[in-house]
Structure 1
Amino acid sequence: MSYLYLLIAITAEVVATSALKSAEGFTRLGPSLLVAAGYGIAFFFLSLTLRVLPVGIAYAIWSGVGIVMVTGIAWIYYGQHLDMPAMVGLGLIIAGVLVINLLSRSVAH
């Protein structure tokens, strides 16, 4: 269940972070409420995740997957262009998350 909770936390954080641009400095009510709700849900489910996973590992997974997902959303919805160094960097982040999950003994499986 800890990985399901972490996935929910990551998804909620990605939605909230992606809505920040539309909130326009919290001047638009709908997107601002989405940001607040998303972060609230994200931190709640992250706290449930931390009952099982070490905080450093959970946060590394959260931040790595979140960065890649937010960048993908920014590319699709906001027209953010990614050059080759950006793509290589994102690939390294993905590789890091995979190494943590597949090879580290710090992760409770």
Structure 2
Amino acid sequence: MKNWLFLSVAIVSEVIATSALRQSEGFTKLAPSILVLAGYGLAFYFLSLTLRTIPVGVAYAVWAGAGIALISLIGWILFDQKLDLPAFIGIGLIVSGVVVLNVFSKTSVH
């Protein structure tokens, strides 16, 4: 269970870093740029801890899928970026794929 916590920290760190990337304006603003570097550093560190027991394909699928969904929602809510019905359907399919991988696949560590 600890490894899923590590993966969750990696996902949240990556989402924070990616959100700050927009605010860094091409790394011309110091505070958001530091947040980007620290966030990605933490994300990769905790992802590496996760890979001790969770297969890389499973960990990366969960990390990428959750990151895509969360960043899309943050862009929609905080940055007023438009998402249409196909975008919501696509995000739903990504999340569904992660759920199928974790619930039904024997490659996932539970």
Q: With structure 1 as the length reference, what TM-score do the two structures score?
A: 0.99
Cα distance in 1, alignment partners of residues 44 and 92 from structure 2: 26
Q: What does residue 53 of structure 2 align with?
A: 52
Please, which runs of 5 or more residues in structure 2 have no aligned partner?
Answer: none
Alpha-carbon deviation of 1:75?
Answer: 0.6
Describe how 1:53-92 pairs up with structure 2 within 5 A: 53-92=54-93
Alpha-carbon deviation of 1:92?
Answer: 0.1
Q: Deviations over 1:39-70 (max 9, x none)?
A: 00000000000000000110000000000000
Q: What does residue 4 of structure 2 align with?
A: 3
Whichever residue aligns with residue 10 of structure 1, its letter is: I
Cα distance in 2, alignment partners of residues 104 and 11 from structure 1: 24
Whichever residue aligns with residue 57 of structure 2, its letter is: G
Cα distance in 1, alignment partners of residues 107 and 54 from structure 2: 9
Percent identity between the aligned chains? 56
What do you get for the CA RMSD once the two structures are aligned?
0.4
Number of matched residues?
A: 109
Q: What does residue 97 of structure 1 align with?
A: 98
- List, as ranges, runs of 4+ consecutive aligned residues in structure 1 with deviation greater than 6 Å: none
> Does the residue aligned with 1:78 lie in a helix, a strand or coil?
coil
Alpha-carbon deviation of 1:27?
Answer: 0.1
Q: With structure 2 as the length reference, what TM-score do the two structures score?
A: 0.98
